[in-house]
A and B are shown apart, each in its own frame.
Chain A
Amino acid sequence: MTEKRTEAHEKRPKLERHLPLKANWFHILLSLAEEERHGYAVMQEVLQRTGGEVRLWPATLYGSMRQLQDAGLIEECQDAPAEDDDSRRRYFRISALGRDLLDAEAERLRSLADMVRSRNLRSQAQS
């Protein structure tokens, strides 16, 4: 338990450096958190999930994925999933650090949302 805590403490500053998470990074990490995907699949999934609101253009997508990879937040899979026949594509998965970052970002957003909510309640109570 103590060991785990220490590790988490070491990770903290590393994670905080990336917070708040860029929108592109957030969507890519979220997409890869579900399953291993290649770039085009990430693009399509994000578009679908956001109802066409967020489109990751190819250059931005691959640029961001390179940065995510460099930061150790995602990893390239060595073998393509069995069901996929397109072996020319590179598949990516989220790393443990990436998952932690996603959690931290979700936590941050939640606390922000709570803050807004509590302010709203107070203003309603005042009125």
Chain B
Amino acid sequence: MMKKWLQALTLTLCRFLIKGYPAFFRRQAGKEMVRDMKLLLEEQRFRRGTPSYGAFCLALLADTAAQLLVQRRQSRREVLPSAKRPQGRRRTLGGNMQSLWFDFRIALRALLRRPGFSLVAVLTLALALGANTTLFSLVHAVLLKPLPYEDPDRLVALWDSADYEDKFRVSPFNFAFWRDNADSFQDVALYGYAGYTLQTDEGPVLFYGSRVSLDFFDVLGVEAQQGHLFSPDDYQGQGSSVIINPAAWRTYFGGQESVVGQVINLDGQPHEIIGMVPDRLYPLSAWASGRLEFGAQPRFWKPAVNLDTHAQAHVYGVLARLEEGVSLSQAEEELRRLDASLRQDRPDTHRSHRTVMVPLNEEAVGRVDQTLWMLFGAVGCVLLIACVNVANLILVRIQARQSEMALRQALGAGRFEMLRQFLAEALLLGTAGALLGTLGAVWAVRLLPTLAPAEIPRLDEAALNLPTLAVTLGLCLLTAAIFACIPLWRTRRSSPAQALRPGGRSTDSASGHRLRGFLVAAETALAVVLVIGAGLFLRSFQELRSVDPGFEPGQVLVVEMSHSQQQFETHQPLRDFYGQLLEESAALPGVDSAAASYDHPLESNWFQGIELIGYPELPSGESRTALYRTVTAGYFETMGIPVLEGHVFDGSETPEGAKQVIINQSFARRWLGADDPLGKTLRLFTMDGPGEFEIIGVVGDVRFSGPRQPSEPAYYLSFQQTPQYRMNLVLRSQGPARRLLPQVRNLIERLAPSQAIAEASTIDEILFSTVADSHFSSLVLGFFALSALLLALVGLWGVSSDLVHARRSEIGLRMALGAGRAGVFGLMTRRGMAPAALGALIGLAAAAILSRWVAGMLFQVSPLDPWTYLLVCLLLLSTAFAAAALPARRASRTDPLQVLREQD
């Protein structure tokens, strides 16, 4: 069976190779050769004791292929008289180059003779290749390029997990446990957020960085660029050594040569810069949800000391490097064993503990890979459509060039020579398109990262580097090869004699039209898929924007501030500072109301465990948790969060008085059920230790994690009773909120001269950033879809015009026989639109199947959303009608007399 299959394959391949033999020889000996080959293969198949049949087939193939070259060379010698042959053309490199140069010169001349065709083809290819280059540079930078650390495949991130949350930050206790017990890891390191006020010559600035354990840089495999890395001595005392990155060195220290050894002031404490590490993407802190935050801006690192004081605080991220030769699954297995022992030994704190291990490159990319691959797929479709369009143009040109090609054939050009000529033309088109596209990509690669959501890491590394250009070159060559083969294939059966006859009609114009109709249908189908995709993403974006965030958006300025304990040694000065700040800022012109909160409404911090006094404990393995906020009086009014029951803080709360808490609706519903929440008591853990708080009010839900996530239970504490060192000042303004910033800066500078403020933003900007990924996808996909639609319409228009042109005499005859203008218009429009309608149908079906893949990226929009499908259909058919109607109108105005006269 196998041998029979091999025999058939070999024969087919041999036949294919023989097709490449010079026509004269092929006609003379081709059939006989194939018959002999078949006989030989048959004989060999039934012969016993011979070596492998496969080897025999291979030898036969190799012989046929080798003879192809021999025969071609020989026939070339015979066709070209020796006087005309460039000297040494066949044997020397210079001769080959000369012949290549000759081919390209002819091709260039042919292309310049038809500037319209060449321009449209080059622009179409430039658009598609440029878009592909841009998108690939993003995909390469974000998804394909390895992380810039030593042996990055061995790096993993470790997170905690429990039954109440899948993935959250790690406590110092767990870090130490893994470091001391897990044999699968060579090194384990801890890192956590740090933000300090740095005193510079231009005033105080907020300087962000990371508190790290001793092994942090070893795990990443980073060496110091200047100075040295942390040593155990740096972890003595309060840890006042600092390592900075070159961005910080340039921004804050003016790029001086002797930055190592310099003493800087962080939060009023002297720190010594001991080294500088190369500019790379370092994990800096971890989000509450257990996601890495990477920073490439000015950053510093300092030793994480006194971890024992908060051994159970889940506020850190952990990185580990796998031992050489240890696989992920082996490490996973060991972690499962360690988890079990922790759960057994420490049921009080690790009742449902589980470790989550994620490869660092996966962690860095997060959930953006799906978006990027989808966009890359879309851009691939655009390229396909562009190719189909150019192929279509080439087909039109073939009809016009039929006599030229026939002449070449008649003068002895073989198929190989023709292929070389077409290849030269296609290569010129492709190269021009690729060059123009790459120029566009240079600009687009700079533009796209500014549109992209901040959560796509390493976008700034996107560049037109070697791999990207190699892909562009590859695509260019591939498209050129396809374009070169089309005319060759179309002319395979054409007879030079027929084409050269005066008034000779094109050989197979009907099948040419059919082919072009099919191509238009294919590109319409692709365009429909893209437009429907873009439509779905646009609808999804609209839905996201229309979600009620739970507060009143609008002109609200959010100013982030961080204070140190050195600045405010006790809580009272901090309260006084905020009391005065809020009072004076509320009095600023244009400000409606002012308040402050720990974490702004769209910042999701981590869940805290709570106890409800008078309520039984939940069954084993479950615990009550909620997000928390600390707010000042006037916060709910400023943010426009409705008060549903009871009352809110009015500023009269005192640290010594009864502790009060406000809960949100989700809290009441989830943990108190139908009970009246007012007057109930919660036992909460704050910075000052555990305490009992009375519920005094219930407020509306806010979507803390953005519109995609449902509201979570949350409680609000009074700033008067539990002050925080990091607060956000929120100001509702009557006019544009950003205009308040200079006044606010002046005010803060006056009240606390050493206070730095971070970049301020408006609540609308923050709200937008939560849907920026959806905006990015719909914008980029929309652009591709529009390009695709435009290209498809151009293709359709071309085919319709060509159809009208080819049937001119038929139309004239019809009209002479009494057909009306409306009838001719209708007929030609119908014929012109037929491929578009077919393509639209195929596209709809394909979109219905493919859209399932993006269902996870859509928000409250079904992948089969009927409105989107209907609208896209209408859009496509109406534009297709326009594209087909223009040539049809021209057809209906044909003068029958003139056409008939031309016939004579």
The residues of A with any CB-CB pair to B shorter than 8 Å are 38-40, 43, 57-63, 65-67, 88-90
19 contacts between A and B (CB under 8 A): A39-B32, A43-B36, A43-B40, A57-B63, A58-B40, A58-B63, A59-B18, A59-B33, A59-B64, A59-B66, A60-B63, A61-B36, A62-B29, A65-B29, A66-B25, A66-B28, A88-B31, A88-B35, A89-B32
Which one, A39, A63, A66, A67, contacts B36 given CB within 8 A?
A39
Query: Known contacts A40-B39, A67-B74: does B60 contact A62 (CB below 8 Å)?
Result: no
Least CB distance, A85 to chain B, in whole angstroms? 15
A66 to B75, CA, bound (A): 11
B79: interface (CB < 8 Å): no
* Number of residues on chain B facing chain A (CB within 8 A): 22
Identify 9 new A-B residue pairs, CB closer than 8 A, beyond the known A58-B40, A60-B66.
Answer: A58-B36, A58-B37, A58-B64, A59-B18, A62-B25, A62-B32, A63-B67, A66-B71, A88-B31
Least CB distance, A43 to chain B, in whole angstroms? 7
Against A, the Cβ 8 Å flags (1 = close, 0 = not) of B3-39 are: 0000000000000001000000100110111011101
A88 to B68, CA, bound (A): 24
Question: Chain B contacts of A62 at CB under 8 A?
Answer: 25, 29, 32-33, 67
Query: Known contacts A40-B39, A63-B70, A63-B71: does B59 contact A57 (CB below 8 Å)?
Result: yes
Question: Chain A contacts of B59 at CB under 8 A?
Answer: 57
Least CB distance, B78 to chain A, in whole angstroms? 9
Contact A58 B33 (CB under 8 A): yes
Query: Known contacts A89-B32, A90-B32: does B67 contact A59 (CB below 8 Å)?
Result: yes
Least CB distance, B368 to chain A, in whole angstroms? 55
Query: Known contacts A40-B39, A66-B25: does B63 contact A59 (CB below 8 Å)?
Result: yes
Contact A60 B74 (CB under 8 A): no
Least CB distance, B38 to chain A, in whole angstroms? 10
The residues of B with any CB-CB pair to A shorter than 8 Å are 18, 25, 28-29, 31-33, 35-37, 39-40, 59-60, 63-64, 66-68, 70-71, 74
Among A66, A88, A89, the most chain B Cβ lie within 10 Å of the Cβ of A66
A59 to B67, CA, bound (A): 6
Question: Chain B contacts of A63 at CB under 8 A?
Answer: 25, 67, 70-71
Contact B60 A66 (CB under 8 A): no
Question: Chain A contacts of B40 at CB under 8 A?
Answer: 43, 58
Question: Chain A contacts of B28 at CB under 8 A?
Answer: 66
Closest to B40 in A: A58
Least CB distance, B40 to chain A, in whole angstroms? 7
A63 to B37, CA, bound (A): 14
A47 to B71, CA, bound (A): 24
A67 to B77, CA, bound (A): 13
Question: Chain A contacts of B64 at CB under 8 A?
Answer: 57-59
Contact B36 A40 (CB under 8 A): yes
Least CB distance, A70 to chain B, in whole angstroms? 9
Query: Known contacts A43-B36, A58-B36: does B63 contact A66 (CB below 8 Å)?
Result: no
Least CB distance, B510 to chain A, in whole angstroms? 35
A95 to B237, CA, bound (A): 107
Least CB distance, A41 to chain B, in whole angstroms? 10
A40 to B38, CA, bound (A): 11
Closest to B24 in A: A66
Question: Chain A contacts of B68 at CB under 8 A?
Answer: 59
A89 to B34, CA, bound (A): 12
Closest to A56 in B: B63
A-B pairs with lowest CB-CB distance, top 4: A59-B67, A57-B63, A62-B29, A59-B64
Least CB distance, B72 to chain A, in whole angstroms? 11
A60 to B36, CA, bound (A): 12
A57 to B68, CA, bound (A): 13
Least CB distance, B68 to chain A, in whole angstroms? 8
Contact A66 B39 (CB under 8 A): no
Among B29, B40, B74, the most chain A Cβ lie within 10 Å of the Cβ of B29
Least CB distance, B30 to chain A, in whole angstroms? 9
Question: Chain B contacts of A59 at CB under 8 A?
Answer: 18, 33, 63-64, 66-68
Question: Chain A contacts of B63 at CB under 8 A?
Answer: 57-60
Least CB distance, A97 to chain B, in whole angstroms? 20
Among A40, A60, A63, A88, the most chain B Cβ lie within 10 Å of the Cβ of A63
Least CB distance, B767 to chain A, in whole angstroms? 73
Question: Chain B contacts of A88 at CB under 8 A?
Answer: 31-32, 35
A4 to B70, CA, bound (A): 37
Among A57, A58, A61, A65, the most chain B Cβ lie within 10 Å of the Cβ of A58
Question: Chain A contacts of B18 at CB under 8 A?
Answer: 59
A62 to B18, CA, bound (A): 12
Among A40, A59, A62, A63, the most chain B Cβ lie within 10 Å of the Cβ of A59
Among B18, B66, B67, B71, the most chain A Cβ lie within 10 Å of the Cβ of B67
